[in-house]
Amino acid sequence: MIYLDHAATTPVDPRVMEAMLPYWTEKYGNASSIYALGREARRAVEKARQTVADILHAQPEEIIFTSCGTESDNMAIRGVAWASRDKGNHIITSSIEHHAVGHTCAQMAREFGYEITYLPVDRYGVVDPADVAAAITERTILISIMYANNEVGTIEPLAEIGAVARRHGIPFHTDAVQAGGSLDLDVDRLGVDLLSLSAHKLYGPKGVGVLYVRRGTPLLPIVTGGSQEQGRRAGTENVPYIVGMATALRLAQEEMATTNQRLAALRDRLIAGVLASVPHAALTGHPTHRLANNASFVFDYIEGEAILLQLDLQGIAASSGSACTTGEPEPSHVLTALGIPPARAHGALRLSLGKDNTRDDVDRVLAVLPGIVEKLQAMSPLCPR
Q: Is it true that domain 14-254 has CATH number 3.40.640.10?
A: yes
Residue 154 is predicted with a pLDDT of 98
Domain boundaries, the chain: 14-254, 255-374
Third-level CATH fold of 255-374: Aspartate Aminotransferase, domain 1 (3.90.1150)
C-alpha pair distances (Å), 11 with each of 17, 201, 204, 205: 10, 9, 7, 8
Please choose, from the candidates 218, 214, 220, the residue with its C-alpha nearest in 3D space to the C-alpha of residue 79.
220
C-alpha dihedral over 328, 334, 339, 343, to 10 degrees?
-30
pTM: 0.96
DSSP-based three-state secondary structure for 20: helix
Residue 320 is predicted with a pLDDT of 87
Determine contact, residues 203/13, Cβ cutoff 8 Å.
yes
Residue 321 is predicted with a pLDDT of 56
For 291-307, how does the pLDDT look when each residue is reduced to its tens digit (9 = 90+)? Answer: 999 999 999 999 999 99
With a CB cutoff of 8 Å and minimum separation 6, the contacts of 144 are 73, 76, 77, 91, 92, 93, 97, 101, 105, 172, 173, 174, 175
Residues taking part in catalysis: 324
pLDDT < 50 positions in the chain: 322-328
DSSP designation for 202: T
For 42-86, how does the pLDDT look when each residue is reduced to its tens digit (9 = 90+)? Answer: 999 999 999 999 999 999 999 999 999 999 999 999 999 999 999
Residue 346 is predicted with a pLDDT of 93
Residue 382 is predicted with a pLDDT of 78
> Distance between CA atoms of 63 and 40, rounded to whole angstroms?
20
